[in-house]
Amino acid sequence: MFGIVSYNQIREEGGKRFLFDAQEYGTLSAGVDRYAEKLKEARAILKKYDYPDTQEWQTAIIESGKEGLERVILEENDRQAARLKIPRYVAVQWRKQAVSDAPREMWEEVGNYFQGLYSERARLPIQEGDITFNKAGTPEMNTEAIKERLKIAFSMEITPQMQEEADKVRELIARLRELDATGVNVKVLVTEYLGNRYAPSKYPPLDNDLKLLERIRQTRQQTAAKLLATNPAAYYQLGGDRINQAEEEAQ
C-alpha cells in the first residue's frame, strides 16, 4: 500500500526509538481528515435531490458511487411495489422508471463524489468498523485509529543491533577520515582489501606488511594543504573548501 518508505526522522515512544517517515505520515494523516469530512457530503447530495438520506443510502454512495445509488433506488422501488402489491409486470416498469427518473445532475455529482472519495481512500488503512453513524445520522470515522496504523506503517524500531552498527560505522568513518587526511588513499585500499562478504575464504590477506605498505605508497595522494599550495585550481576543482582572501594570498 505504501511502497518504499524513506525515513527522515527519529521519534521516541514508550522508551523506544524509531526511524520515521514524518513527511509521508503527515501527508496521509491530512488525507484521513479530508476523507472524514468528505464522507459527510453523501448526505448533502441525497438531500439536495430530495432522496432518502438514511445510513443505507449514504453508505451505498460512499462505498459504490453510482452503482450503489442505482442499487438502493431499485431496492426502495421493490419495497414500495411489494407494499402496494403492484402486479409484477407493472413493478418491472416501475424499476426502469425509478432509475431513469433520477436527475442526470445527481448521477454526475455522485460519480464525481465517489471518484474523489476513492482517490483519497486509496492509500488509507481503513478497516471494517472505522466508519460509523452517529445518532443524527451523520457518518463519523475513527481517525485516531487510522492515524495510529499509519504511524506504525511509517516506523521502524531501532534495534540494539542497528544502533551498534551505526556506532561502529561512525567510529570507523572517523578513523578512516584521519587516515585520508594524511594522503592515504582510503577509498582505493578499502575497495581492494575489503573483499567479498559472500566468499570470506577469499578475503585479501592483511598480514603481509610488504604488500600493504607498498600499496599504501603506490596509491598515496597529496594532502589537502599540499595540493592547495602547489595546485590551487585542482584543489578547488576537487571540491576543496574555500579559504579567505588573506590566506589565499599567503599561499
Contacts of 189 (CB under 8 A, 6+ apart): 215, 216, 219
Pair 85, 184 in one domain: no
Confidence of residue 4 (pLDDT cuts 50, 70, 90): confident
Report if residue 161 sits inside a domain.
no
Pair 99, 182 in one domain: no
Report if residue 51 sits inside a domain.
yes
Report if residue 3 sits inside a domain.
no
Among 122, 156, 190, residue at a domain's last position: 156
Pair 242, 145 in one domain: no
Pair 94, 131 in one domain: yes
Buried b (16+ CB within 10 A) or exposed e, 167-201: eeeeeeeeeeeeebeebbbbeebeeeeeeeeeeee
Pair 50, 136 in one domain: yes
Pair 220, 145 in one domain: no
Mean of pLDDT values over 153-163: 97
pLDDT of residue 2: 65
Q: What mean pLDDT, rounded, does the chain reach?
A: 92
Confidence of residue 85 (pLDDT cuts 50, 70, 90): confident
Confidence of residue 89 (pLDDT cuts 50, 70, 90): confident
Pair 112, 13 in one domain: yes
- Do the beta carbons of residue 10 and residue 18 sit within 8 Å? yes
Among 128, 156, 184, residue at a domain's last position: 156
Total domains present in the chain: 2
CB-side exposure of 247: number of CA atoms within 13 Å? 8
Return the SS3 of 196: coil
217-236: pLDDT as tens digits? 999 999 999 999 999 999 99
Pair 48, 136 in one domain: yes
Domain that holds residue 239: 172-250
Evaluate the CA torsion angle 188, 231, 246, 244 in order and state its sign: negative
108-142: pLDDT as tens digits? 999 999 999 999 898 899 999 999 999 999 999 99
Helix (H) or strand (E) holding 190: helix 186-194
Report if residue 4 sits inside a domain.
no
Pair 126, 177 in one domain: no
Top pLDDT among 4 and 77 is at: 77
Distance, in Å, from the CA atom of 196 to the CA atom of 211, rounded to the nearest integer, reads 19
Distance, in Å, from the CA atom of 19 to the CA atom of 11, rounded to the nearest integer, reads 7
Pair 124, 188 in one domain: no
Which segment of 44-48, 75-79, 81-85, 114-118 scores lowest on mean pLDDT? 81-85
Confidence of residue 97 (pLDDT cuts 50, 70, 90): confident
Residue 14 clears pLDDT 70, i.e. is over it: yes
Among 123, 156, 189, residue at a domain's last position: 156
Confidence of residue 56 (pLDDT cuts 50, 70, 90): very high
Kindly state the cell numbers that stand for 170: 561512525
Report if residue 226 sits inside a domain.
yes
Pair 151, 227 in one domain: no
pLDDT of residue 246: 45
Evaluate the CA torsion angle 164, 165, 170, 173 in order and state its sign: positive
Residue 91 clears pLDDT 90, i.e. is over it: no
Pair 116, 216 in one domain: no
pLDDT of residue 77: 85
- Do the beta carbons of residue 153 and residue 125 sit within 8 Å? yes
